[in-house]
Amino acid sequence: MRRSRKSPAGLFVIGALIMCGFSAGAQTELPDGYLSEAESQVIIDKTIVITLDPDLSALSENERAAADKLMEVGRIFQKLHETMRHHQAVEAYGELLALDKRLGSPRATQNLINMYYQFKGPVARMLDNKSHTFLPVDPKELGRNVYPWGIKKDEVEAFLEKYPESRAWLLGVRSVVRRSQRAQVEADLKTLDTYSVLDVLHAGFRDMLEMLRDKPGDKVFYACPYSIAFAEALMQVFTHLNDAADLIDTEDPEFAAYIRNRARDLLSDDYESGDASWVTGRFGNLNAEIGSYETYDDQLYGVKSFFACNVLLRDQEQSDAVAKQLQSRLAGKPLDVLSWTQRMPFVVRSIELSNQMMIPYYAIFYVAMAFGIVNTLLMAIGERTHEIGVMMAIGMRRRRLVLLIMLESMLIALVASILGTAAGCGIVAWLGQVGIDLTAMAEGIDYMGFDRVLYPRLEWPGVIIAAVSALIVAAVFSLYPAIRAARLTPVKAIREIT
């Protein structure tokens, strides 16, 4: 009987498999303060990752370059958002990336990197519905990093009780509340020295800082505008936005005007011009929401807004397709995926009814216009029967007479169209700036999802169609009076009047 013997190579393979089995079951030990792999994996297992890959083939080369600039703005805003939420966020994230690289990117650190992206910082809402830090940072504060770190509401209220006139200023939507400490005040003064444009846009702020520098105090607070508090980042954003506007100035001038206005808004902390151009603008393929609006992260007063940038591609078909794919992907889960048409069906139906109602409205308008043209021309012909008879007596052909009357009708309609269009465009442009205040119907407006102040804008195709339609109606309905005039006999026409 022959006895088999295991080869060294075979033993090596078996040993390697056993070691891999042991290492696969082991978890990476992380330094103190980092959430363990077991705890982070529970969150990751509950997370659904969906990657959107939009079709950008409809964009021109300049539009793609502009979109890249806007995406860079988004990356800057992302860091700003994280900084505003926690004063140690960006530093802790950098240390996490270094740790991940040093350990060879194990699952433990990869989980934490994913959690940081998901929760926009080092604080996560865990399965117990409570907020916990998962990196070695200070615990979360209600005022985040837009108030002095760790401040309590009572301390702010004590200051506002002493200086009630400062409430609106201190709790402004786009400012960071600071303690009047000499080092902080001098840092803000240095920012004004570095960026003179901010010194000009925020007139009087330097004088206030110099006064506070001479009388510092931990119990005294001041509001530092975002453009000064985050000056370096926002100056970069200003450059990127203007570069994006230059790229699409000829292809999409209204969108270029909007992002230029928004670039200036970010330095002045007054969003009125950008908001107005966004509401009234008629954009092409691209759209974007840029700036600080949402205030839900401020859990101390709920007034401070946080930066965000959403770059949008106008493509209704893709939107519907993505919604269907997500519905299929998330089938069986307690989640609803709705496109905007499904989210606001009442608005969609209102738009459809409005378009349908315009058909009889236009019909009534053009019928009234037709009767007005016929009546006016018949009266004109009746008053000029003698002249018509004379022209026919000296040799004017009936065809030329018909064309003459039709031309007169169209000239009247052309002048009326120009004057009416100019007046209508002027009124719409004015209302587009001041808005139509529907606050009196607030309950119904809010239910439909509309803003309480509406800003109408011109639809040039509709304006052109209306003007051309008026000329066509004038030409068609002037035929009857013109033919009736052409059928007059010259002698009878002359004799009847004289």
9 pLDDT more than 70: no
Question: Mean pLDDT, the chain, as a whole number?
Answer: 86
Q: In which region does residue 120 sit, left (phi positive, over 0), alpha (psi from -120 to 50) or beta (all else)?
A: left
308 pLDDT more than 60: yes
Structural domains of the chain sorted by starting position, each given as residue range(s) with its CATH number in brackets: 24-49+79-133 (no CATH), 141-314 (3.30.540), 345-497 (no CATH)
- Torsion angle in degrees (nearest 10) through CA of 363, 366, 371, 372: 150
Task: Name the 3-class secondary structure at 186.
Answer: helix
State the Cα–Cα distance between residues 487 and 323, nearest whole angstrom.
Answer: 66
Model confidence band, residue 85 (pLDDT cutoffs 50, 70, 90) = very high
Q: Does the CA dihedral 319-325-331-335 come out positive or negative?
A: negative
pLDDT recorded at residue 20: 39
Q: Which residues pair with 221 in a beta bridge?
A: 179
8 pLDDT more than 60: no
Could you report the per-residue pLDDT of 154-173, keeping only the tens digit for each? 999 999 999 999 999 999 99
451 pLDDT more than 70: no
pLDDT recorded at residue 18: 33
Q: What is the DSSP letter of 149?
A: T
pLDDT recorded at residue 13: 35
Task: Name the 3-class secondary structure at 132.
Answer: strand
pLDDT recorded at residue 259: 96
Read off the amino acid at residue 271: Y
Task: Name the 3-class secondary structure at 187.
Answer: helix
Angle among Cα 124, 125, 127 to the nearest 5 degrees reads: 125
pTM: 0.71
Say how far residue 320 (Cα) sits from the centre of its chain: 20
Model confidence band, residue 6 (pLDDT cutoffs 50, 70, 90) = very low
Higher-confidence residue of 435 and 286: namely 286
